[in-house]
Structure 1
Amino acid sequence: MMMLDGIRVVVLADRLVDFGGSMLARLGAQVVLADATGMTAARRKAWHKGMGSSDAPLEALLDGADILLDDRRTDPRAGVDALAARHERLIHVVATGWPEGQPRRPVTDLTLMAQSGLMHVTGTPARPPLRLPGEQAYALTGIQVATAALMGLRARRLSGKGQRIAVSALQAAALANYREAVMYEHTGRVGRRRGNMLVRGSSGVRQIWPCADGFVTWSMIDNPGMMRALVRVMTEHGAAGELAQIDWDAILVADTDQAVIDRWQDIVADFFAKFDRVRLASWSLEHGLGLSPIIRLSEVPQSPQMQARGMFEDGVPGPLFAVHKGGGA
């Protein structure tokens, strides 16, 4: 038995709710695609896994439905609000590009990435902003749409009444940029592109590191236990150098001079470069290093987590994971 067995979902799709409908289907709901603007084979493969489809009128599909995912990326479909209002127990999730009531503007993955601030902080300082690959803003919105639907079911269980829930794609994308908003609220400082650097306090630390067969992500942050664990592993391989003499409980990396941090990071870089991702990741799990391997796109379907979820049974999805030619697949 799955979480949403017996739950019926109707989807009016135009890219903002597509992934949310697929998520509900994977949780066991019966999901019917009633209408989809601009459907292509690639889009269906990428976004509509687990969904059925129907040409029946929306009015008929809503009879007995629990959830309506109503995509309003462009113009709302005529009469939907009136139809939804007839069903007192219906969870009506309305997804718009911008918060309801704001002036209409073009809603694309590009405009959402730009307006959310994600592009502003992605890339290197000397180059233009970067958009994340694929259609990540649509995916982020779909996640919030599915979450809203689940919250609506919970509210209905408690109140006995249906719910109308508005989801803004802009706000969904901005949630993924949470650090910059929090930083601005507390410091008044506007974030900017830093490249391969995580700035904390008066200094910055690297986040992406080359290793013997690719890259890993790790940062020298103020976590004494993690730092001691890494130094122990490095010491076992004769690679800790001056890091073995540091009392990590007595310092704050964020307040350490940048030149000193760079010297320490060079020692770590030399160590990481000698070992492959599997070895480094296994040490991380065993000792609590806080390190994660960065896998290539071609390796994603073979990851145990993805295989356990059946995410790639039909091959690699399309737009969500699209990359430019020669883009490191």
Structure 2
Amino acid sequence: MTDEKGLFCGKILADLGADVIQVEKPHGNPARRIPPFCANDAGPEKSLYWFAFSAGKRSVTLDLDTDAGKGVLLRLCKTADFVIESFPVGYLQRAGLGYEVLSRAHPGLIMASITPFGETGPYRDYKAGDLVASAMGGMVYCTGEPDRAPLRISVDQAYCQVSVHAAIGLLLALHDRATSGQGQHVDVSMQASMVRTLHTQLPYWEYSKHIVQRSGARRFRGGAATREIWPCKDGFVSWMFFGGAVGTQQMQTMVKWLESKGMAGSLSGEVDDWATLDLTKVSPDKIRSWERIIGNFFLAHSKKVLYEEALEKRIPLTPVNAISGVAEDEQLAARDFWVDIEHPELGTSIRYPGALFLTGDEASIPTVRRRAPLLGEHNEEVYIGEMGMGTDEFKSLRGTGVI
């Protein structure tokens, strides 16, 4: 029972092999109308967003604003392990469908409630989307160029992070239920989930009251910010400056590489011993002069040439792949990462990211097993075939718009 805030949580569980049923309002989940759309044809059965985050699930429709709909949900929950919901705080309680009510008939039921700020605290009733949660969780402040305003990451982050945390919470509660026999209510906050991503920024503040500033294509380490993303002849590569014992071999090898191409400039002989170099003691102007030399070298070569030669020299350099590069990556292909899923109603198949990880038991490898469901596609299958609803009751509920 989630909108876009929690769709990914159900997707994770479906990939792991769970039977996930998306309970939608009769007019459909709002995420079905989020672009982009397949072939640019807008419609509730064409959303690529819906495809991505609902693949592997089944769909039933149910109007929870009716007494009959509430009764059907209670029957559904009697055989469920998990309920995932992202309604505003208090909505289910006011509807008579809070965790206390749902778990009364099924004490082992585990519910995850996904909300912008959690179900307690002064912000509990505030509304927020991905951008607000990302901003208030600290990520937006850290993203972008140092001399410009903060930026959001282009793809939703808070929704995905909170869904991952919700899935973890559900699985931990399931593990506990194996010994206690009791279910739990898992309360997950989008804001708190984003704070958990700030692994570098939090320690700097905690121990030195230092706010790590935005560094764009650079990476802040100690008192130095050095470039990490570099333009090259046909795109970008990632490579970092290192001083001290860690950087000795790679920097010496990098300088020799530039020398072999006649492009080392002042880097030849300018540093006597990279092992003793403390980058935090090097002036920003000097670092920029070294970056210009190395940057010109990268600009003269393609990603493929730079990557292959760096690999031979054991220099940690990698291409920055666009999605086209990811889709064509030979490593992912070798691991059969991609899965082609048929969409018969569209007359085509769509390629999806597949296995989260590989195991010795091929049948238990988590992967996408079916396309995202059409609206209410499994109503009869679930209500009549599995829940045991009579045909007359089903037709009556469908006729009155409850399902």
TM-score where L is the length of structure 1: 0.81
Q: C-alpha displacement at 1:48, in angstroms?
A: 0.8
| Alpha carbons of structure 1 residues 45 and 267: separation in structure 2 relative to 1, 3 Å | same
Q: Does 1:125 align with 2:154?
A: no
- Of the candidates 8, 11, 15, which is equivalent to residue 26 of structure 1? 15
- The code of the aligned residue for 1:63 comes to K
Q: Which moved more, 1:227-236 or 1:46-55?
A: 227-236
Aligned residue number for residue 111 of structure 1? 132
Q: Which has the higher contact order (CA 8 A, sep 6+)?
A: 2
Q: C-alpha displacement at 1:108, in angstroms?
A: 0.4
Aligned residue number for residue 80 of structure 1? 98
| Alpha carbons of structure 1 residues 109 and 241: separation in structure 2 relative to 1, 3 Å | same
| Alpha carbons of structure 1 residues 28 and 233: separation in structure 2 relative to 1, 3 Å | farther
Aligned residue number for residue 97 of structure 1? 116
Please give the secondary structure, in 2, of the residue aligned with 1:34.
strand
| Alpha carbons of structure 1 residues 191 and 239: separation in structure 2 relative to 1, 3 Å | same
- Of the candidates 45, 51, 75, which is equivalent to residue 51 of structure 2? 45
- Of the candidates 285, 305, 310, which is equivalent to residue 279 of structure 1? 305
| Alpha carbons of structure 1 residues 273 and 55: separation in structure 2 relative to 1, 3 Å | same
Q: C-alpha displacement at 1:21, in angstroms?
A: 0.9
| Alpha carbons of structure 1 residues 92 and 136: separation in structure 2 relative to 1, 3 Å | same
Mapped contact 1:207–1:219 kept (Cα < 8 A): yes
- Of the candidates 213, 216, 220, which is equivalent to residue 195 of structure 1? 216
Aligned residue number for residue 74 of structure 2? 59
Please give the secondary structure, in 2, of the residue aligned with 1:278.
helix
Aligned residue number for residue 162 of structure 1? 183
| Alpha carbons of structure 1 residues 91 and 311: separation in structure 2 relative to 1, 3 Å | farther
**1:284-295 → structure 2 map (5 Å cutoff):** 284-285=310-311, 287-295=313-321
- Of the candidates 217, 233, 240, which is equivalent to residue 219 of structure 1? 240
Mapped contact 2:83–2:111 kept (Cα < 8 A): yes
Rounded Cα–Cα distance in structure 1 between residues aligned with 2:180 and 2:15: 26
Rounded Cα–Cα distance in structure 1 between residues aligned with 2:177 and 2:314: 42
Mapped contact 2:338–2:351 kept (Cα < 8 A): no
Mapped contact 1:301–1:311 kept (Cα < 8 A): no
Q: C-alpha displacement at 1:316, in angstroms?
A: 8.0
Which whole-Å deviations, capped at 9, do the CAs of 1:20-60 have from their partners, x for residues lacking one?
A: 11112112221111136424232422311111112363223
Rounded Cα–Cα distance in structure 1 between residues aligned with 2:279 and 2:98: 55
5+ unaligned residues in a row in structure 1: which ranges? 1-11, 318-329
Q: C-alpha displacement at 1:209, in angstroms?
A: 0.3
| Alpha carbons of structure 1 residues 236 and 141: separation in structure 2 relative to 1, 3 Å | farther
| Alpha carbons of structure 1 residues 186 and 285: separation in structure 2 relative to 1, 3 Å | farther
Q: Stretches of 4+ moved more than 6 A in 1?
A: none
- The code of the aligned residue for 2:98 comes to V
The alignment covers a number of residue pairs equal to 306
Q: C-alpha displacement at 1:159, in angstroms?
A: 3.9
| Alpha carbons of structure 1 residues 258 and 135: separation in structure 2 relative to 1, 3 Å | same
Overall identity of the aligned pairs, in % = 27
Which whole-Å deviations, capped at 9, do the CAs of 1:197-232 have from their partners, x for residues lacking one?
A: 222223210121001110112221343244345445
Q: C-alpha displacement at 1:237, in angstroms?
A: 4.1
- Of the candidates 178, 188, 195, which is equivalent to residue 174 of structure 1? 195
Rounded Cα–Cα distance in structure 2 between residues aligned with 1:58 and 1:286: 60
**Which has the higher Rg, Structure 1 or Structure 2?**
2
Rounded Cα–Cα distance in structure 2 between residues aligned with 1:107 and 1:267: 46
Q: Which moved more, 1:58-67 or 1:102-111?
A: 58-67
Please give the secondary structure, in 2, of the residue aligned with 1:30.
coil
Rounded Cα–Cα distance in structure 1 between residues aligned with 2:76 and 2:315: 52
Q: Does 1:267 align with 2:259?
A: no
Rounded Cα–Cα distance in structure 2 between residues aligned with 1:133 and 1:45: 19
Q: C-alpha displacement at 1:148, in angstroms?
A: 2.1
Aligned residue number for residue 371 of structure 2? none
Mapped contact 1:155–1:163 kept (Cα < 8 A): no
Mapped contact 1:202–1:256 kept (Cα < 8 A): no
